[in-house]
Structure 1
């Protein structure tokens, strides 16, 4: 399968970071709008992150953001598992330290990449 164009991969990454960077109330409104669960935020990032690694070697991402992207990925991975189900609720978005850390890191990456962390949240299509 052919890899998507770099501009598409970059857009996916920026969109996923935009949702991660949003304040908890905005994240909850986004989840309600699309009738999805909080884990959709992490799933979107995971998908974009897996395609974004080549953007660094292609010179389409600042080298300084790689560590933050990896830390976001590691933090979300550490939050996974049945024993952490309470960390994946809408209420946890405003109180969990893992969500706070990923929000902070996502904001830092967005500032480095696009100059400002507040970005429009993406429209998504949910296939059920």
Structure 2
């Protein structure tokens, strides 16, 4: 097992899952006006769900953790292409899929860590403009 790399991926998976589990107001506060595309959120978590398979093989996740991550990945995969277009803050307000994903993420974190309220990932960096 690559302890450092696997530990970092495990931490990122848990933090990103915590972001998906957070209340909508907390998700919007995390965004803090940053423009994050919905497709980027979906693709990041789908990747982490796939990577978790290998992490479980190397002992960074338990086999039973995969059930929760697979459920999140399946639900993300059900978001059609038209709903992936646009900013995530808009999707949070208009697409009920995010309520389902929030529930699945909370269940996973409750099972894995005993509480769904966990540290969120670092905020995305605001792009620099010529005005900065």
Which TM class, normalised by the smaller chain length?
0.7 to 0.9
Structure 1 runs (4+) greater than 6 angstroms displaced: none
Calculate the aligned-residue CA RMSD, in Å.
Answer: 2.8
Q: In 1, Cα distance between the equivalents of 2:95 and 2:23? A: 13
TM-score (normalised: structure 1): 0.78
1:107-122 to 2 correspondences below 5 Å: 107-122=106-121
The higher radius of gyration belongs to 2
Structure 1 match to 2:64: 64
Q: Deviations over 1:82-110 (max 9, x none)?
A: 3x257864243245331111111111111
Give the 3 Å change call, closer, same or farther, for CA 87–67 of structure 1 in structure 2: farther
Q: Gapped runs of 5+ residues in structure 2?
A: 128-132
Asked if the contact 1:94/1:100 (under 8 Å) is kept, the reply is: no
Q: Deviations over 1:34-68 (max 9, x none)?
A: 44234443233123223221121223223222122
> Given the two structures, how large is their TM-score scaled by the length of structure 2?
0.76
Question: Aligned residues, how many?
Answer: 126
1:34 to 1:85, Cα distance in 2 relative to 1, 3 A: closer
More off after superposition, 87-96 vs 62-71 = 87-96
Q: Which consecutive residues of structure 1, in runs of 5 or more, have no partner in the other structure?
A: none
Q: Kindly indicate whether the alpha-carbon contact (under 8 Å) linking 1:38 and 1:88 is maintained by their aligned counterparts in 2.
A: yes
